[in-house]
Structure 1
Amino acid sequence: MPDSEFPDFPRMQPRRPFFIVRGREPAGDDLKHPVVAIGNFDGLHAGHRAVVAGARRLADELGRPAAVLTFDPHPRTFFRPREPVFRLTPESVEATLLARLGLDGMIVLPFDAQLAAMSADAFFDDILVARFGVSGLIIGHDFHFGRGREGSPSFLLRRGASSGMPVVVVEPVNDGGEPVSSSMVRQALEAGDLHRANTLLGYRWFVRGDVSHGQKLGRTLNYPTANLRLDEGCRLRHGIYAVRAAVDSRVVHGVASFGHRPTFDNGAPLLEVHLFDFSSEIYGQQLDVEFVAYLRPEERFDSVEALVAQMDLDSAEARRILAENPPPRSLLG
């Protein structure tokens, strides 16, 4: 069942300018001597946000900007290029969430052969100290880095102590006695268990994409849709969902189908969003789609009439669920 306690990320507004540094350049004046949280923050789940909150606290104590230092592509993609990673928050979404959580910036290092082969000492000396002049570090309890994963929390505590750099190791946030992880969230989404996924995240999961032209079959059925191509690694369970979409600075309720369209073409996975009581043209616009409830699996119908009858039922159910679960207050409100 959906819940009303999850913060509504798409409607939140950042509180300050947010700066993104990519590649191998220094951070510049906007992120001078930052306190950084290091890691892969895919999903920005409850455990990640504990690390981010630690960075914000330490930065405020030291009078420094707060940022995350992360990697692109995801290290798993580098080491296993034939196994697409189910990214919960692509970079643009991750930057949006970090800004809304009150951070000042995001440093994105290219994860390539050079970085993979770098020793932990070289990473600390050449990147953290020499390039970015880091004032403090916040890491999760299980963070490892460097050649052969030789960098560890104990390594950073030792190097930080010897160089006068405060290092804080954040304890895990547990769910049922197990540390919350991105893998747990992915597994829940793959099963269509939105309640569990959103509980682990601490907000309702949403995707972002550009509205593209499709076959316009929905219009012939009186169900026009906004079509989004999600990342090829997305393994969200195929099926029908009650959703909200952020459109032109407002939130619109709707029902969405994610899958292969078995009644028509069994094509590549596509997210088709039907927005209730909405008629504006939004082709080419960026859409944030928040998943509120899983309604049913994707299925093939023997006739268009049978499909439309089921779509009527799906829409009525989605309207009911969304009315019973109004957008909650902002995470920062």
Structure 2
Amino acid sequence: MKLIRGLQNLQRAGIDSASGCVLTIGNFDGVHRGHQALLTRAVELAERYGVPATVLSFEPTPREYFSGERAPARVSNLCTKLLDLGSFGIGQVVLHRFGSAFAQLEATVFVRDVLASQLGVRAIVIGDDFRFGARRAGDLEMLRREGARLGFEVDGIASVCAEGLRCSSTALRDALAVPDLTHCEALLGRPYRLVGRVRGGLRLGRTLGMPTANVNLRRQPALRLGVYAVEARALNSDGTGGEFLPGVANLGVRPTLGLTRCLLETHLIDHSEDLYGRLLEVRFRQFLRPEQRFDDLSALSAQMQRDKSDAAAFFASKSTGPA
């Protein structure tokens, strides 16, 4: 999958109105089943038109731009989102910076200058509640009118529901905050996961007898901080990987050490492969306990061993093991 950082780099990436694309637009935070319906339809239309299926997304998200620190936490990090988009057959992602100029862009100008002139859309797939442009003035009906005038197809997709609730990033955030991993899986159609590159850390886990693969998270995700029974595997750059291995992971800021940056620390049970520099996929299977501060490293080490035993017991209780 090709990643283009900014609309200003479209031509450098070989994308123009002549080459064309089928487009879907959104934050795609979590890539839940509603998002998946959009992606699947975009890929179908792209095959029909013989052009790439393309996602236009934004950094920061519009809500983060307007709300600042009051914006809700993200369901997943950027690395996870890009891999999720690629797994559904998206050929290219345009990741554009959302700033004041873009926020003030009138809906009709966005359609004419961005969709038609820059991207050359043959078709666009959006949710039936999609709004865009300054003052959120653009909607599905307006886009259909402009599409008829400018010569591209517009396909509106109805909301998708799971367990009686509309699949949305908001519903995912609510479930992750509990955390209700079973409901998350229903909304996603798969276990909740985070993916990131393993970086060097303090090596404290190794000192305490439980070496961990550490993924720094730029933003604290919506998932409740704490300790989880997880399945993890190293990934190749295309998102493929081997079998999942059982483990225990701490998602948190490590208050015992007086730190504040969010980190995902994963210990693979009975596995000692060096994962530094590799992409690591971590699937969250069972919440074990909240994050807490310990009086000293001895108390922390004892709790880590109990966490490891609890995670091993969880997987042992599954007749088929990790799935």
Task: Return the TM-score normalized by structure 2.
Answer: 0.86
Map of 1:25-36 to 2, 5 A cutoff?
25-26=9-10, 29=14, 32-36=19-23
Which amino acid in the other structure matches residue 312 of structure 1? Answer: Q
What's the offset of the Cα at 1:214? 3.3
Q: For 1:1-333, what aligned pairs fall within 5 Å after superposition?
A: 18-23=1-6, 24-26=8-10, 29=14, 32-83=19-70, 85-247=72-234, 249-250=241-242, 251-262=244-255, 264-268=256-260, 269-301=262-294, 307-322=300-315, 324=318, 326=321, 328=323
Pairwise CA distance, 1:144: 0.6
The whole-number CA distance in structure 2 between the counterparts of 1:166 and 1:322 is: 49
- Letter of the 2:268 partner, please give it: L
8 A contact 1:245–1:252 mirrored in 2 = yes
Amino-acid identity (%): 38
2:272 is paired with a residue whose SS is: coil
Q: How many angstroms apart in 1 are the aligned matches of 2:272 and 2:205?
A: 13
* Mapped contact 2:116–2:150 kept (Cα < 8 A): no
After superposing the two structures, state which structure 1 stretch, 308-317 or 143-152, moved more: 308-317
Alpha-carbon distance in structure 1 between the residues aligned to 2:34 and 2:40: 10
RMSD: 2.4
The residue that corresponds to 2:238 in the other structure is: none
Shift of residue 260, structure 1, vs aligned partner: 3.9
Could you say what secondary structure the match of 2:179 adopts?
coil
Contact 1:87 1:234 in 2 (8 A): yes
Whole-angstrom distance in 2 between the partners of 1:94 and 1:215? 28
1 CA distance for matches of 2:96 and 2:254? 38
**Which residue identity is paired with 2:248?**
V
* Separation in 2, partners of 1:20, 1:204: 25
Number of equivalenced pairs: 310
AA in 1 matched with 2:3: I
Q: Decide whether the 8 Å contact of 1:19 with 1:30 is kept in 2.
A: no
Question: Which digits, 9 at most, give the CA deviation of each residue in 1:82-126, with x for residues without a partner?
Answer: 335522233332221111111211122221111111111100000
Inter-CA distance 304–82: structure 2 relative to 1 (3 Å threshold)? closer
Deviations 1:162-197 (A, max 9, x none): 333111100000234432110111121121221112
Higher RCO by CA contacts (8 Å cutoff, separation 6 or greater): 1
d(CA) in 1 for partners of 2:217 and 2:315? 23
Contact 1:258–1:270, Cα closer than 8 Å, also in 2: yes
- C-alpha distance in 1, partners of 2:180/2:251? 15
Once residues 19 and 260 of structure 1 are traced to their aligned partners in structure 2, the CA distance between those partners, rounded to angstroms, is: 33
Call closer, same or farther: CA 1:267–1:91 in 2, change over 3 Å. closer
Task: Tell me, yes or no, if the aligned pair for 2:77 and 2:221 is still in contact at 8 Å.
Answer: no
Question: Deviations for 1:126-167, whole angstroms, at most 9, x for unmatched residues?
Answer: 001111110001001111110000010111112112333111
Take 2:252 and 2:69, find their aligned partners in 1: how far apart are those partners? 22
Report the TM-score when normalising by structure 1: 0.84
Gaps of 5+ in 2: 236-240
